[in-house]
Structures are given as structure tokens and as C-alpha cells.
Structure 1
Amino acid sequence: METMRNINNQMLSVVSRFCNDFSGQVEGLISLIPEDMSTAPEHFTNLHKLHAETHRLCGASHCMGFLQVGRELEKIDREVMSLNGASPDRVRQTLPIIRRKLEAVNREFGWLSPARSKLINRASALEELEAAEKDGELERASENAKMRILGREKVLFADDDPYVRELMEQTLTELGVNDIAVASSGREVLDMLETFEPTVLVTDWNMEPVSGLELLKRIRQGRTSLERDTPVMFFTAVKDRKGIMEANRYGLNQLLSKPLLPSELSEAVLKVVGKRFQTRNKVWDVG
């Protein structure tokens, strides 16, 4: 119970800071769109950045447990992406609409509070349920066993949002992972592999310039220093059926949905680690 309580307290701290910063982050998105598009250059140069930042904030909102906010930002991001390759006239016509939608998001959700976070509420409810149902000795024994297993792993976590990185790093630490590295992009992951060799990679799906899918492909094709069977888990709020099928073809081990409870993260890592151990033992026995 103590581990769960510590994780929940740290989670509350990160989510609280995300809430305090949310309105400012939306204002940052709005500032990327000129108020008067008639004075904007013919080729709007901020479109790529607007997509990247809207997508990042969408994913972070899901991760922090604000699903309605995440869904609204996801719709806006799809509109931004639809402008890729569009005519200058269409861009000029559509961006003011997107700006108004972002302003509406800020008006409607600028009040974000941890009390409205599904992540916080689910975690608190689970803590109360476990406190009521579990035998203290058995729970501690189970918790210690899981922490010993996780303590042998080296986890590399990648996400383009700083709040998500902090939340996941703190959670993994409390779960017993002693060796953790965090990266803000797929490119940074590739750079870090020169000095850090993870036994498990947990990565956001959509990052630039190197996506989670591209990382998975490179690992499975032997184009990194990692073993080809290194467990790879995607952490995402987007359900793209075609993308999931492609990821599965390249050997994705687990798809983690935002928001993710600490217990779900722990079980997912234990699951892929256990499967890797069993597979390698079978290969060894056959050899």
C-alpha cells in the first residue's frame, strides 16, 4: 500500500502542475496562428509546429486523465493535418476556424483541476479498494516480489511531453525500476542507445522526427545496438487500426492506452519481461 500511496501522491503533484500550465499551453498554440490571416505569408510556416504541439498536448491530456480535453484537441489536430499540402487559400480560410476552436477549448477547459482527472480518480479508488480487500502481509510479499523483478530491468521511456516524462519516470521508480532513462524524441532514443542499453523500451507512438513505429522497425531489423527481441511497448491515446496492424507485424509487444494506472504499467512490463525470458529459454533449450 505504501508504494501505491507514494505513486498517487507524486501523480497528483504532476497532474496539478499540468492543470496550472494548461491554459498557457493552449495560448501557445493560439499564438502560432495570426489573428489576421490576410497578412500571413503565402506559405504558412507554423503549420508543422502547430500540428506537433497540438498532438503533444492532446497526448498529455489523455495521459493526465482529461479524456474530453484530449478528444477535442485530437479533432483540432486532425483539421490541422488536413491542411498539409492544401492551397494557400484553404489554409487562410481554415486556420481562423482552428484558432477559434482553440480559444473555445481554453474557455471551456481552462479550469482543469486534478479532481476531474480520470487518472487520479481511478488511482484513488483502486487504492481504497486494495486497502479494504487485501491482506497486509500477502500484499507486501507480492509487491516486494514484483519490485525485485522490475529492479533488474533497464527501462527507456520516450515521450515528447515533459509532464508525461516526469509522471512515468516517477511511477517506474516507485514500482522498483532502478535504471531508467527518459528521452523527448525518437531521435534522442537513438542517440542514447550509444551509452544506455535498455531491456525494455516504452515509447510514445507519434513523435518527430523519428516515430515510435520507426524505432520498432529499426530494432526488429537489427539497425540498432539492441537485441532484436528487446521488448517494445507503445504508449498512446490514438487507436489507429492500420497502424496497430503494422506495428504488430513488426513485433510490438504491448499497446498501452492513456491514461495508464501504475498497476497497469507494472503488470504490462512484468508480462513482456516474462515472455522474453520464456522465449529465450526455449531457444536456449533447443540449441
Structure 2
Amino acid sequence: MSKNYDFRNVRMLVVDDCKFMRNILERMLETLGVGYIRTATDGIDAWDLLYNDDFDILLTDWEMEPEDGPTFVHRVRQDPDSPSRYIPVIMLTGYTEKTKVTSARDFGITEFLAKPVAARSLHARLLNIIENPRPFVRTATFFGPCRRRLNLPTFDGIDRRASSEDALLI
């Protein structure tokens, strides 16, 4: 963990139906210096906490009952009454097949974290949220952080897109 941040003012909501996992995540976040941590057992409890408190980052498990992580995140992103549509979301799961990762990206998560969780991996996700904030995108079928992560080299050929400066000259 090369970069040291002061996380004392970071407010985290941890959502997991497994008490053991909630405790582990809470201890990891405390060790990283996160100053305010609340926990919920599922998306329904978490929704109530989001309405009654302000959080900076949401860490949620995928599989929970009665409301799972995907349903909860979809509601956070899409519900017009959502109090936290722009909150960064770290999705936690033991299932890391490409279809799961793609699905999570498509319902609006910010970061993906595989179980078993290591403090170093959790720290890396927190740093990425802080150092590389992603703009939010709204389309007819999606609202959430931009799903593109590729940093492609610029194209200098005749067919390159105009820069904003070029566009002003046209």
C-alpha cells in the first residue's frame, strides 16, 4: 500500500448479509483509517440508511436476501427518489466470471472486488475511486459511471476526431 491517505473523513456504508463478512470488512476499513462506517444486512436496510445519512462510498455484496446487490445498486442509480445516485459503489462477490463483471458494470457499479478480500485490494479500489473518478453517463438504458476504462493513444491521422479547440474553429 504505497499511497497513504487520511480516510478519517470518509463515510462508508457496508452492505452484506453475512455478519462475519461485515465484521471483516469493518475491521479492514478501520485499519485503513476510515472514520465512519455503518453496516446493513441487505439492500432494503441499506436504502433506509442512505436516506437518513450521508455516505461517500458504498461497499455491497452481490448475493443477499431479501434484496441482493444488483437490485439495490440498480435502485440507487435509477430510482428518481434515490438520495445517492452518484455514490461510488464497490461490488463485492465470490463469483468473478466475465459475465458477472460485465453485468455489474452494466448496472452501475464503480469498482469490482473479488472475495476473498485482501486489505491491499480494498485499499486499491478506494484509491482508484479517489484518484480516477469516472464521469457519470446517462443514456436511455443506463445511468452510472462511465463504463470505458481504456486509455487509448490519440490518433493523429486524417480521420481523427476534432479536439474541442478544433471544433471551435470549424
The alignment's TM-score, normalised by the length of structure 1, stands at 0.44
Contact 2:14 2:58 in 1 (8 A): yes
The aligned residue for residue 220 of structure 1 is 77
Q: 2: distance between equivalents of 1:270 and 1:156?
A: 17
Question: Residue 63 of structure 2 corresponds to which residue in structure 1?
Answer: 206
RMSD: 2.1
Once the two structures are superposed, the pairs formed by residues 276-287 of structure 1 within 5 Å of their partners are 276=133, 279=135
Q: What percentage of aligned pairs have identical amino acids?
A: 27
TM-superposed CA distance for 1:187, in Å, is: 1.1
Q: How does 1:221-260 map to 2 (within 5 A)?
A: 221-223=78-80, 224-226=82-84, 228-260=85-117
Partner SS for 1:229: coil
Partner SS for 2:51? coil
| Structure 1 residues 189-219: Cα deviation after superposition (integer angstroms, max 9, x where no partner) | 0111122221111110011111110121112
Give the drift of 1:240: 4.4
CA shift for structure 1 position 266: 0.9
**1: CA distance, partners of 2:130 / 2:68:** 23
- Gaps in structure 1 of 5+ consecutive residues: 1-138, 281-287
Residue correspondences, number: 135
The structure with the largest helix share of the pair is 1
Q: Which runs of 5+ in 2 are unaligned?
A: 137-170
Which residue identity lines up with residue 123 of structure 2 in the other structure?
S
RCO higher in structure (CA 8 A, sep ≥6): 1
* TM value normalised by structure 2: 0.71
Comparing both structures, which one devotes a greater share of its residues to strand?
2
Aligned-pair CA distance for 1:250: 2.3
Do the aligned residues in 1 keep the contact of 2:8 with 2:34 (CA within 8 Å)?
Answer: yes
Q: Which has the larger radius of gyration?
A: 1
Aligned-partner Cα distance in 1 for 2:56–2:31: 18
Letter of the 2:39 counterpart: V
Q: Distance in 1 between matches of 2:11 and 2:135?
A: 19
